[in-house]
Amino acid sequence: MFGLIWSDSARSLLDLAIGFAVAGMLASGYQLLTMQPPSFTLLHEGERNHALAAVPFLLFAAPFIIVRNTLRGARIERRNFGFAALAALVAGLWSLMSGTVVVMALEAVGRLVA
């Protein structure tokens, strides 16, 4: 029983790490191509098609954007620890979910063995 619980915890930790890695990779790639950091303002693009195209990108890049904005806000606006902890919790849960989707997709195409 303990081995089953440990394997589930290890898998969740791996999903969390993969979610953050994918978020960082997407955000860095976006910044490399556009010479500006990604943000949630991509949803307010002038054309509707551009805004809709940004949704899948933001679904997976959001943990990186949340953490970056939190660190910048803590440094510039002197936000308190409670706000940073809440943002880290949201980014962590979001990363866990997006990492789970990435792992499931890799398993579905046969690139990852469960």
CA 41 to chain centre: 16
Closest CA to 56 of 92, 91, 30, 33: 30
Per-residue model confidence (pLDDT) at position 3? 59
pLDDT at res. 10: 85
- Number of separate domains in the chain: 1
Digit-by-digit pLDDT tens for the chain (114 residues) are 555 666 788 889 999 999 999 999 999 999 999 999 999 988 887 778 788 888 999 999 999 999 999 888 877 888 788 888 899 999 999 999 999 999 999 988 887 665
* C-alpha to C-alpha distance for 58 and 42, rounded to whole angstroms: 8
Decide if 114 is inside a domain.
no
In contact, 72 and 37? CB cutoff 8 Å: no
Using CB atoms within 10 A of its CB, is residue 6 exposed (0-12), middle (13-18) or buried (19+)?
A: exposed
Domain assignment present for 113: no
State the Cα–Cα distance between residues 44 and 52, nearest whole angstrom. 10
- At 114 the pLDDT is 58
Give the pLDDT confidence score for residue 13 in this predicted structure.
Answer: 92
- Asked if 94 and 62 count as a contact pair (C-beta separation under 8 A), the reply is yes
Q: Range of 12's domain?
A: 2-108
The answer to the question of residue 46 being in a domain is: yes
Which tokens is 108 given?
A: 């579905």
